[in-house]
Structure 1
Amino acid sequence: MKFQNLSVKRLFSRVAMGLALSMSGITIALFLVTKQIAVLLTGGALLLCALVGIFVLTQAFGKRLSQFTADLCQTLDHMIAGNEAPQRPEDSETQLARIGHRLARLYQIMQENRRRVDEERQELQTLVSDISHQVKTPVSNLKMATDTLLEKPMTEAERIDFIRGIRSQTDKLGRLFDTVAQAMSGIVYAAEKKGIAVSVDCPEDLTVFHDSKWTSEALFNLLDNAVKYTPAGGKIAVSVVLWEMYVEIKVTDTGKGISESNQAAIFRRFYREEEVHEQQGVGIGLYLAREIVTRQGGYIKVVSEPGKGSEFSIMLPTK
């Protein structure tokens, strides 16, 4: 018989039935031995008292259990909604009170996690807003300046001022080699500490219109991941190739690789694979890298296989 599948009332009914049969058997056995009616009367009275006691206990316990279940469901609903903390029971010696204390602790942990996620989300929104502003502003300024030069009559001094403004914005049309070097500087120490060999193949005279600050941030995120997930003694290679419509910045490593089923998920905010939770980070590096590149009209692609390393490519438009 599986008692865990019985309701409280059925369990007490089975106990009462067993007690009644046991006491009836004992009473009858004593009567047969003594042949005295008093034994039957006494046994019957004791049996009646026992059954009444069990009935009262069943009702009281059932009522207490029903109240606890209702309170527990209400508390869990409040915890899910985040409305209020569960009340701590005054009596700390009962099992129900112990459950209440643990629920209160669980609620505190949930609230702390919610607060932390909200802060990270706010920081992320601010950062993405900054990325958008940094990338779009130079293009908008160049367009307004050139339209003004073409359409509005102006003095030579005004024309020089506009040309200087255009010059300051065209500084964004910088050498890609400098952007790559800036990103590489952030991982040199970590790679050297793990004995990882790093190589770079980038034409020094290659120029492309890009935001150097944010592009180097995106590239650093790819390099930082490569260093984290490449074992000691491994290799990381950075290469730049000019295609017809895009410039490709490829980061190749000899790390653990990524399964095909996870390759889309790795670009989600706060996503981290189960087997890499021992590594530092909150799971937004690849998400930010993709946002930075996408807002410049480009995209990121990945080619990887477990146990054979990964290739991440930043594709920046040439025009």
Structure 2
Amino acid sequence: MLFSVSLVVWYRLSMRRTIRRLTQMVDCAIEGNFKESKYDESAISALETKLSRYIGQFQTRERNLATEKNRLKSLVSDISHQTKTPLSNILLYSQLLKEQPHLSNDCAEMVDQIALQSEKLQFLIHALVKTSRLEAGIISVSPKKESIADLLVSVCEDVKQQVEAKKIQIQLSCDCLEAVFDRKWTTEAIHNIVDNAIKYTPIGGSISVSAVSYELFCRIDINDTGIGIAEYESNEIFQRFYRSSAVGAYEGVGIGLYLAREMIMAQGGYIKVNSTLHQGSAFSVFLPSTK
């Protein structure tokens, strides 16, 4: 009887010591100062040894990931720097060529194409750089309390020439609302969505931009009367470089909505879309109301 009681007490004490050691190992791993030790299989459980090995391997992967992130950061910076000057020179020389007198119509058309394709390449490189920085976590956002009305007015002003060129009516409806967001990146995200709405809305169509505030978040709605999105593509359109077969005749590389979603998600928000094919689309951007 006494032996049985002693055995139970010893077992419980042994289990407590093992659990305490495991807890200490996990705490050290969370704090980032875990150091692998030598264990005696006869004195410590196999589970503890396996956990130690797993934590060690995980920390090695974390260090490798940090190294690769720094390499990617350097590569992205190099690409951005090395391509800026050549592209700027191509655009400059194409403009100078266009201003030359007695330029034949064929040559003028080719110069226009050089300038157009250079601008597309410049846009694509900028988009790829932003994408790489977002995915690597290099771009940091600084959300703070900002005016939603000021944000939307700024976006609508930026696209004024585009809507006038296509004779599209754009309506803005927003009270004095506030939310927590990074002004720079949120402006770009909303601009990408509005730009898509303009692109896929036919001449004479309409776009409405509005916002409504709730207790925990603020919702920005961008509605258009464009070509719409098939139901099976509602998630696909946010994928990087996705281009629907229905928009082959339109300019674009399929990066705008992807960037918009990544920028909004980086701030704790999200984007939803509801659309009916050939009738239009409604994009909703949700931003936190408080930090």
Corresponding residue of 1:143: none
Which of these residues, 249, 252, 263, is aligned with residue 234 of structure 2? 263
Write the distance in 2 (CA, Å) between the matches of 1:265 and 1:218.
17
- Alpha-carbon deviation of 1:128? 1.7
SS in structure 1 at match of 2:196: helix
Write the distance in 2 (CA, Å) between the matches of 1:128 and 1:274.
27
2:192 corresponds to 1:186: no
- Alpha-carbon deviation of 1:290? 0.3
Write the distance in 2 (CA, Å) between the matches of 1:131 and 1:237.
33
Write the distance in 1 (CA, Å) between the matches of 2:280 and 2:218.
22
What is the TM-score normalised by the length of structure 2?
A: 0.54
- Alpha-carbon deviation of 1:234? 0.5
Write the distance in 2 (CA, Å) between the matches of 1:268 and 1:248.
22
SS in structure 2 at match of 1:236: strand
The size of the alignment, in residue pairs, is 169
Q: What do the CA deviations read for 1:58-80 (whole angstroms, capped 9, x no partner)?
A: xxxxxxxxxxxxxxxxxxxxxxx
2:196 corresponds to 1:196: no
Corresponding residue of 1:223: 194
Corresponding residue of 2:206: 235
In structure 2, list runs of 5 or more residues that go unmatched: 1-121
> Is the CA contact 1:131–1:214 (under 8 Å) kept in the aligned structure 2?
no
Q: What do the CA deviations read for 1:181-234 (whole angstroms, capped 9, x no partner)?
A: 22112211111111100000111x222121111111000011000000001110
- Alpha-carbon deviation of 1:299? 0.5
Letter in 2 for 1:190: Q
> Is the CA contact 2:131–2:259 (under 8 Å) kept in the aligned structure 1?
no
Letter in 1 for 2:167: G
- Identity score, percent: 40
> Is the CA contact 2:197–2:207 (under 8 Å) kept in the aligned structure 1?
yes
2:180 corresponds to 1:174: no
Pair 1:125–1:233, CA change in 2 (3 A): closer
2:243 corresponds to 1:311: no
| Between 297-306 and 272-281, the greater mean CA deviation after superposition | 272-281
Pair 1:122–1:228, CA change in 2 (3 A): closer
Corresponding residue of 2:29: none
Q: What do the CA deviations read for 1:83-104 (whole angstroms, capped 9, x no partner)?
A: xxxxxxxxxxxxxxxxxxxxxx
- Alpha-carbon deviation of 1:260? 0.4
SS in structure 2 at match of 1:304: strand
Write the distance in 2 (CA, Å) between the matches of 1:215 and 1:252.
18
In structure 1, list runs of 5 or more residues that go unmatched: 1-115, 140-171
Q: What do the CA deviations read for 1:221-264 (whole angstroms, capped 9, x no partner)?
A: 11000000001110100010012221000000000110101111
Q: Which has the higher helix share?
A: 1
- Alpha-carbon deviation of 1:120? 7.5
Corresponding residue of 1:149: none
- Alpha-carbon deviation of 1:130? 9.1
Structure index of larger Rg:
1
- Alpha-carbon deviation of 1:122? 4.9
Letter in 2 for 1:134: S
What is the TM-score normalised by the length of structure 1?
A: 0.49
Write the distance in 1 (CA, Å) between the matches of 2:199 and 2:127.
24
